[in-house]
Amino acid sequence: MKADVQFWRELKQQRNNMTKQQYRTIKGQAVKGNMDAARKGMLRIQQRRNYR
């Protein structure tokens, strides 16, 4: 459960670094319960934009 809360905080922090569609897609995956795919997608976006 703590990992989920941490993921939501990180997603909100990264909102400005994503396009609106990217944010909505990752948020939708997480809401539906597919947290692994949401994490993977967010990491991919961060790597592409060199925010790591």
Give me the pLDDT at residue 36, please: 94
For residues 52 and 46, is the Cβ–Cβ distance under 8 A? yes
* Whether the predicted pLDDT of 48 surpasses 80: yes
* Whether the predicted pLDDT of 52 surpasses 70: no
| Beta-carbon-side half-sphere exposure of residue 8 (alpha carbons within 13 Å) | 8
Q: Cβ contacts of residue 16 below 8 Å, gap of 6+?
A: none
Give me the pLDDT at residue 50, please: 79
Give me the pLDDT at residue 7, please: 92
pLDDT in tens, 2-44: 778 999 999 999 999 899 999 999 999 999 999 999 999 999 9
Give me the pLDDT at residue 51, please: 55
